[in-house]
Amino acid sequence: MYSLEELQDKVTTIIESKKFEKQPLSLYEPIEYAMHQGGKRIRPLLVFLAANMFTDDLEEAEYPAVAVELLHNFTLVHDDIMDLSPLRRGKPTVYQKYGINKAILSGDVIYAMAYEQLMNCSEEKIPFLVKTITSVLIKVCEGQAYDMSFETRNDVSIQEYITMISLKTSILLAGSLKMGAIVANASKENMNILSEVGLYLGIAFQLQDDILDCWSDLKDFGKVSGTDIADNKKTVLYLSALDKASEQDRQRLIDLYTEKNIDVQKKIAEVKGLFEKYEVRKDVEFLIKQYSEKAIESVEKIDVEGERKQNLINLIHKLLKRNR
Amino acid sequence: MYSLEELQDKVTTIIESKKFEKQPLSLYEPIEYAMHQGGKRIRPLLVFLAANMFTDDLEEAEYPAVAVELLHNFTLVHDDIMDLSPLRRGKPTVYQKYGINKAILSGDVIYAMAYEQLMNCSEEKIPFLVKTITSVLIKVCEGQAYDMSFETRNDVSIQEYITMISLKTSILLAGSLKMGAIVANASKENMNILSEVGLYLGIAFQLQDDILDCWSDLKDFGKVSGTDIADNKKTVLYLSALDKASEQDRQRLIDLYTEKNIDVQKKIAEVKGLFEKYEVRKDVEFLIKQYSEKAIESVEKIDVEGERKQNLINLIHKLLKRNR
């Protein structure tokens, strides 16, 4: 069995050593740029972690590991266009650097490259892997569609928000764990439990991200703080505040999220003030605790020796203490 | 064996009967719209034609047939954003009707749906089919990247143009024929010859498209005539005219393609005038004849009874006499 650090090193080595630049450069340079901006690379790590629960031979896990990182970057490249995000991991987003057209097209190829990776696996596993990654992608896009539709809706519930982030974030974490289990020939039952782990972990992870977007430093987080507020994203913080606020504050929050002629920095400060007044951060931290406990309970149900589960449990704890 | 008309009807029935609308509507309504705008549906027809050369059981061919039509529509939805095309098949393009964001996201899902279709095929064929469609998609995107890069280049040769359209157009026709051959258990050799047919046919088809874009009626063609000229697309007509024109006309043509403050209708008329002065249409028609003859010569090399090839030969003749 590998240690968490060894697996993390494996991921870094594999992704960093991949070369994406070839002709035409106008297409592949943005791909090289997107893929080598660092990032946490949690998804390929989850592939290796899941595979390593059942086998010490991680050779085949490399392909779905690279595939999920490609898929993740594909969604980032396209989402950043849709969300008009200027920064990602502290650097200009692909569309900011290369323009919308190249970002669309490069994103499309990154997606295809994910399938290319899976083609390196043993033939009998390919159908199941392809089925998994395809269903993941469709659900991630459904999540993004819900997310965009929330921007113009005023009646989003916390439950709907959780469903949206399960689609947009959890499904890919679940798919990563599942694909690791597939290449390691795990049982169907273990695969399903691992998908469940990914589901809960993803929700906790995204709720954590909402907190970080609001309160972390640019230096650590790599994105501008408060962008969710600037973009009128109805995050769990906003929805919890709406639930708890007095009629007057509630109306003010809605106004702040709809007014167009407002100084962005002032808006961020005032919204954060309201979040703090109603202590919504504490509520969200409670939710995170609940979902991460569910994730760990699920890990414990996996039918494999206890020590084989420890890496995944440690990662869950680590992820939920992160500051970026 | 089926007749060409029977196969065409099969394609129409299958594509028209597919329902794409489900939740979230913001994602699936644009897909429904894109997939049910008619179009020539040549690619699924090529899948059936190729399969029907080797078998009368076309049940399995249905999945790659739908997959290639999905893939084609995916490229149209994204290309229309990049090219700012207002009309497609006589109606507003997806991005015009639903906005850029929904067009990007719906396109992504259409692409994933192509893989979903292939998952219905028998398991042992899935790896080869997935490999084929993935490599097709990457090449199509490379072709689109070259196409976009030509817009700002002044030294594009006719040979480079042919290479670009082989990637952008031929590869998907070749892939359609190949996937039909795969599901029909054709020999590797026959598959390769069919890919060759697609390659030549695609070039002839795209050159024909360049002529139609310049001289056909909106009613027949479904797109605004002269858009290639308006968009400064360096089509084969433009490149041939540059090759043949006097120094003065050559410079004028280059100026017309670079000047920004020019009335579009006047520009189209003047460029068409120059195309006519140098009779470039005749040259292109000669090229089309050459490539379609090559396509037919390749069909003749396929190792199957002569009558089984007739449908494909008839389609090639028909496609190159079209007015839309």
pLDDT tens per residue across span A36-67: 988 889 999 999 999 999 999 999 999 999 99
pLDDT tens figures, B101-115: 999 999 999 999 999
Average pLDDT rounded to a whole number, residues A207-230: 79
B154: pLDDT confidence band, cut at 50, 70 and 90?
Answer: confident
Q: What is the mean pLDDT of chain B?
A: 94
Q: Report A:169-228 residues touching B (Cβ under 8 A).
A: none
Query: A69-73, A320-324, B297-301: which range is least confident on average?
Result: A320-324
Nearest-by-Cβ selection for A142 from B24, B126, B146: B24
Q: Report B:106-135 residues touching A (Cβ under 8 A).
A: 107-109, 111-113, 115-116, 118-119, 123, 126-127, 130-131, 134-135
Structure tokens at B8: 């065409």
- Minimal-distance CA residue of chain A relative to B143: A24
B249: pLDDT confidence band, cut at 50, 70 and 90?
Answer: very high
**Would you give the DSSP letter of residue B135?**
H
3-state SS string for A132-157: HHHHHHHHHHHHHHHHHHHCCCCCCC
B278: pLDDT confidence band, cut at 50, 70 and 90?
Answer: very high
A270: pLDDT confidence band, cut at 50, 70 and 90?
Answer: very high
B57 pLDDT more than 90 = yes
d(C-alpha B129, C-alpha A218), whole Å: 45
Backbone angles phi, psi at A155, to 5 degrees: -130, 35
Contact B119 A142 (CB under 8 A): no
pLDDT of residue A154: 83
B227 pLDDT more than 90 = no
B324: pLDDT confidence band, cut at 50, 70 and 90?
Answer: low
pLDDT of residue B321: 81
Query: Which residues from chain A sit within 8 angstroms of residue B148, using beta carbons?
Result: 26, 101-102, 105
pLDDT of residue A231: 84
Nearby residues of A229 by Cβ (< 8 Å), 6 or more positions away: A214, A238, A267, A268, A271, A272
A218 pLDDT more than 60 = no
pTM of the model: 0.94
H/E run at residue A152: none
Contact A26 B149 (CB under 8 A): yes
A283 touches B: beta carbon within 8 Å? no
Average pLDDT rounded to a whole number, residues A217-224: 59
Query: Which residues from chain A sit within 8 angstroms of residue B105, using beta carbons?
Result: 78, 82, 141, 144-145, 148
Q: What is the mean pLDDT of chain A?
A: 94
pLDDT of residue A324: 60
Pick from B193, B179, B194: nearest CA to B70: B179
Nearby residues of B40 by Cβ (< 8 Å), 6 or more positions away: B322, B324
Share of chain B above pLDDT 70, in %: 97
H/E run at residue A88: strand A87-88
pLDDT of residue A222: 60
CA angle B265, B270, B271 (to 5 degrees): 100
pLDDT tens figures, A117-152: 999 999 999 999 999 999 999 999 999 999 999 988
Contact A100 B81 (CB under 8 A): yes
- Minimal-distance CA residue of chain A relative to B127: A126
Share of chain A above pLDDT 70, in %: 97
Strands, E, within B69-141: which ranges? Answer: 87-88, 91-92
- Minimal-distance CA residue of chain B relative to A107: B108
Q: How far is B4 from chain A (nearest CA, A)?
A: 32
A197 pLDDT more than 90 = yes
Task: Say whether the peptide bond before residue A24 is cis (omega within 30 degrees of 0).
Answer: yes
Q: Quickly tell me which residue has 């400064």 as its tokens.
A: B232
Contact B119 A100 (CB under 8 A): no
- Minimal-distance CA residue of chain B relative to A84: B101
pLDDT of residue A323: 63
pLDDT tens figures, B302-315: 999 999 999 999 99
Contact A26 B141 (CB under 8 A): no
Contact A119 B126 (CB under 8 A): no
Q: Report B:15-34 residues touching A (Cβ under 8 A).
A: 23-24, 26-27
